[in-house]
């Protein structure tokens, strides 16, 4: 049968599967009549003959049989090589024409050359990535670069298992198409990892690490062990920094800056949010003088994701998890147990006597707030029986989250050794001072958000002792 | 793609096994058309049971040739022995993850069959097969 070039016009691109290119080409070619039944069967038998030939190479002709699993693996590897060769031409029509006119083994050999070339290119790319590796403590990031990719390079088997990725690349990228296999997947991964790394290098690595720590505190996670993408955190904050103060190089935001941004975002509608993110992205690209087109495209693609996330964060009151701010700011604003040296014994006794005699609860609280500056004095005061019933609660209401976290650490010293302990529904203990009982009741009555804020502060190094 | 179905059988196999009669007739043995069909069918069955694909039938040919000269085989147990030996062969190949090639395995199997088992396929397929697998996997 003569090849009818006109039928190729009937090929529907949506019927072509880029992950199983050859098989979908055969199916579509047969459907439109570009490949007749005879040619279709001939191609299949050629693939089987090639499979037999490669299985015998695999066994070095010393065995006539292999496990079915091995045969399948080699068969998939052949298809992978054919996919590589056929996808290198401009369009599916041309690929079908190749299947009609050329021998399968010839196409296969071209595919193997294509795989070899992509593998070499990927190795080169990885060398650059190694040189530019970020100095960050994320184990999953370091493992991917130090162990997983070298393992792939060492183990990759072009002849018999080209479709296998055979490694654990767990560090998540913003855009990671896991339907790709073998070296094609690794190459995509490395290209994207390089783009993300290039972007992060526009910023000071100390700032990046500080930002990651703030991210960890915000999400209550240990960043060394956690599974997250660095690029998105850096990019998000760089955009927020541009929106707030037109600053291209600073990714760190104070808590008060976060509050300003929150106010701005909450008052904006979707269209305004989209505009502000788009403008900030354009300004950032110009401000950082980014000239690399693939990186610009990557950024512009991610910008759309950021817009959706921002929109959802505003809607769900979750902005603090997207706009990462410096947690130290919170301490600066609220800490008051800052004095190392407390009151003298004489001063303390006078204060206790005054509180006991004073009948106005507001005056009692004012006296405490004015005079108590150290944690030791506060603890002594609470256990001195100078307050009664609701007066404890009134005092606790005057304390900041940080101060409450300090008290929590003292009251629940034993319980906090258990990792599963939370501040939700705490039970009263049996032998407790009434200040502790009142403290438990007070904490139980707080709303969940505030309890969470206090709980998050428990991990702060300033109150770990 | 059902590779075992495509690869395990070829039209030429029937003729090839039938032609073995020329080699075994000197031992007073003969494979009938029905015997040949059963041997080929049981070979496919053993391959599927042991999750294998095979591109040729030369292992079966070698088993036939080897057994035909064995003093422990006669016309009554010949076909049954071929079938049993095929099963043991593919079982060991899979259980040892192909650590041993065809020639070497046939040699080990037949030596064991002659020397240790004195022609008992029951002994060979039980304890001795396990021992062979263990030895190969230790290599």
As given in the structure block, the two tokens for residue A238 are: 């760089």
**Overall average pLDDT of the A114-122 stretch:** 97
Helix axes B33-49, B58-68, angle to 10 degrees: 120
Instruction: Note whether B53 contacts A: Cβ–Cβ < 8 A.
Output: yes
Instruction: Note whether B52 contacts A: Cβ–Cβ < 8 A.
Output: yes
**Overall average pLDDT of the A230-258 stretch:** 93
User: How much is the CA Rg of chain B, to the nearest whole Å?
Assistant: 15
pLDDT at A418 over 90: no
| Tens-digit pLDDT profile for residues A333-355 | 444 565 556 788 888 888 888 88
Instruction: Note whether B58 contacts A: Cβ–Cβ < 8 A.
Output: yes
- CB–CB of A59 and B101 under 8 A? yes
Mean pLDDT lowest for which of A27-31, A75-79, A337-341, B102-106? A337-341
| CB contact residues (below 8 A), chain B span 99-128, against chain A | 101-103
pLDDT at A330 over 50: no
Look at residue A333 in the predicted model and tell me its pLDDT.
Answer: 41
Chosen from A65, A76, A77 to mutate, greatest number of chain B CBs within 10 A: A65
**Overall average pLDDT of the A157-184 stretch:** 93
Instruction: Confirm if A405 and A452 have CB atoms less than 8 A apart.
Output: no
* pLDDT band for position B110 (cuts 50, 70, 90): very high
Look at residue A334 in the predicted model and tell me its pLDDT.
Answer: 43
| Ramachandran region, residue A196 (left: φ > 0; alpha: ψ -120 to 50; beta: rest) | alpha
Higher-pLDDT residue of A229, A445 = A229
Domain boundaries, chain B: 3-138
Please report which residue ranges of A33-67 form alpha helices under DSSP H: 37-58
**Overall average pLDDT of the A176-188 stretch:** 94
| Tens-digit pLDDT profile for residues B58-86 | 999 999 999 999 999 999 999 999 999 99
pLDDT at A281 over 70: yes
d(CA A202, CA A235) in angstroms, rounded, equals 10
- CB–CB of A64 and B54 under 8 A? yes
Look at residue A362 in the predicted model and tell me its pLDDT.
Answer: 77
* pLDDT band for position A69 (cuts 50, 70, 90): very high
> Which of A48, A65, A69 shows the shortest C-beta gap to B47?
A65
- Per-residue CA distances from A204 to A41, A193, A199, A211, B96 (Å): 61, 18, 11, 11, 55
pLDDT at A432 over 80: no
Listed in sequence order, the residues at least 6 apart from A21 whose beta carbon sits closer than 8 Å to its beta carbon are: A82, A83, A86, A87, A95
**Overall average pLDDT of the B105-118 stretch:** 95
Instruction: Confirm if A415 and A421 have CB atoms less than 8 A apart.
Output: yes
- CB–CB of B54 and A59 under 8 A? no
- Chain A residues whose CB is inside 8 A of the B58 CB are 64
Half-sphere exposure of A369 (CA within 13 A, CB side): 15
d(CA A395, CA A403) in angstroms, rounded, equals 11
Instruction: Confirm if A438 and A391 have CB atoms less than 8 A apart.
Output: no
Rounded to a whole number of angstroms, the distance from the CA of B48 to the nearest CA of chain A is: 9
- Chain B residues whose CB is inside 8 A of the A63 CB are 93, 98, 101-102
Whether the predicted interface score ipTM is above 0.90:
yes
Q: Which residue has the tokens 């041997």?
A: B39
Look at residue A422 in the predicted model and tell me its pLDDT.
Answer: 79
Dihedral sign for Cα atoms in the order A281, A298, A318, A237: negative
| CB contact residues (below 8 A), chain B span 19-38, against chain A | none
Q: Is B51 helix (H, G, I), strand (E, B) or coil?
A: coil
Look at residue A171 in the predicted model and tell me its pLDDT.
Answer: 95
Instruction: Note whether B43 contacts A: Cβ–Cβ < 8 A.
Output: no
Look at residue A322 in the predicted model and tell me its pLDDT.
Answer: 94
Return the percentage of chain A with pLDDT > 70, whole number. 93
Look at residue A152 in the predicted model and tell me its pLDDT.
Answer: 96
Domain boundaries, chain A: 5-110, 114-198, 204-326, 333-463
As given in the structure block, the two tokens for residue B37 are: 């069909």
- Per-residue CA distances from A148 to A143, A166, A185, A369 (Å): 6, 9, 13, 56
Please report which residue ranges of A252-327 form alpha helices under DSSP H: 255-266, 270-287, 293-315
**Overall average pLDDT of the A434-457 stretch:** 81
* pLDDT band for position A425 (cuts 50, 70, 90): confident
pLDDT at A105 over 60: yes
Chosen from B98, B100, B103, B136 to mutate, greatest number of chain A CBs within 10 A: B98
pLDDT at A329 over 80: no
| Tens-digit pLDDT profile for residues A367-392 | 887 788 777 788 888 888 888 878 88
């Amino acid at each position: 049968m003569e090849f009818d070039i006109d039928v190729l016009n009937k090929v529907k691109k949506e019927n072509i599967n880029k992950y199983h290119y050859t098989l979908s080409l055969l199916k579509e070619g047969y459907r439109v009549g570009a490949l007749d039944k005879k040619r279709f069967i001939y191609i299949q038998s050629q693939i089987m003959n090639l499979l037999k030939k490669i299985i015998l190479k695999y066994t070095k002709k010393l065995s006539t049989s292999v496990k079915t699993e091995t045969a399948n693996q080699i068969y998939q590897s052949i298809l992978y090589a054919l996919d590589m060769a056929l996808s290198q031409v401009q369009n599916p029509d041309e690929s079908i024409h190749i299947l009609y006119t050329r021998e399968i083994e010839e196409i296969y050999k071209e595919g193997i050359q294509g795989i070899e070339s992509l593998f070499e290119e990927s190795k080169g790319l990885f060398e650059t990535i190694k040189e530019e590796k970020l100095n960050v403590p994320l184990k999953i990031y370091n493992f991917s670069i130090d162990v997983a990719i070298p393992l792939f390079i060492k183990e990759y088997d072009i002849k018999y298992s080209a479709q296998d990725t055979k490694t654990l690349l767990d560090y998540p990228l913003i855009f990671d198409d896991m339907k790709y296999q073998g070296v094609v997947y690794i190459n995509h991964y490395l290209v994207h990892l390089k783009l993300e790394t290039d972007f992060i290098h526009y910023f000071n690595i100390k700032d990046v690490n500080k930002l990651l720590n703030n991210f960890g505190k915000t999400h209550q996670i240990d960043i060394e062990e956690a599974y997250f993408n660095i690029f998105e955190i850096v990019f998000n904050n760089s955009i927020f920094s541009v929106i707030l103060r037109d600053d291209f190089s600073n990714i760190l935001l104070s808590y008060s800056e976060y509050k300003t941004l929150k106010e701005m975002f909450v008052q904006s509608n979707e269209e305004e949010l989209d505009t502000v993110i788009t403008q900030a992205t354009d300004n950032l690209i110009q401000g950082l003088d980014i000239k690399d087109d693939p990186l610009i495209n990557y950024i512009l693609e991610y910008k759309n994701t950021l817009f959706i996330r921002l929109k959802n964060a505003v809607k769900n009151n979750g902005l603090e998890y997207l706009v990462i701010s410096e947690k130290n700011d919170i301490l600066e604003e609220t800490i008051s147990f800052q004095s190392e040296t407390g009151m003298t014994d004489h001063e303390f006794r006078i204060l206790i006597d005054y509180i006991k005699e004073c009948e106005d609860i507001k005056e009692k609280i004012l006296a405490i707030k004015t005079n108590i500056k150290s944690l030791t004095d506060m603890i002594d005061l609470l256990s001195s029986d100078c307050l009664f019933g609701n007066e404890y609660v009134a005092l606790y209401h005057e304390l900041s989250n940080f101060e409450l976290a300090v008290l929590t650490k003292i009251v629940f010293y034993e319980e906090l050794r258990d990792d599963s302990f939370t501040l939700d529904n705490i039970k009263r203990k049996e032998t407790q001072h009434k200040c502790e009982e009142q403290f438990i009741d007070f904490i139980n009555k707080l709303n969940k958000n505030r309890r969470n804020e206090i709980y998050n502060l428990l991990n702060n190094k300033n109150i770990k002792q | 793609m059902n590779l075992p179905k495509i690869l395990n059988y070829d039209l030429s196999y029937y003729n090839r096994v039938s032609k073995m009669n020329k080699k075994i007739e000197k031992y007073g043995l003969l494979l009938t058309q029905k015997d040949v069909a059963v041997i080929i069918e049981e070979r496919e069955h053993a391959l599927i049971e042991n999750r294998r694909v095979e591109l040729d039938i030369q292992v079966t040919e070698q088993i036939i040739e080897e057994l035909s000269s064995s003093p422990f085989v006669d016309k009554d147990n010949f076909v049954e022995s071929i079938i049993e030996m095929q099963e043991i062969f593919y079982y060991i190949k899979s259980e040892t993850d192909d650590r041993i090639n065809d020639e070497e395995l046939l040699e080990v199997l037949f030596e064991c069959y002659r020397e240790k088992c004195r022609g008992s396929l029951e002994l060979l397929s039980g304890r001795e097969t396990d021992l062979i697998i263990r030895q190969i996997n230790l290599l």
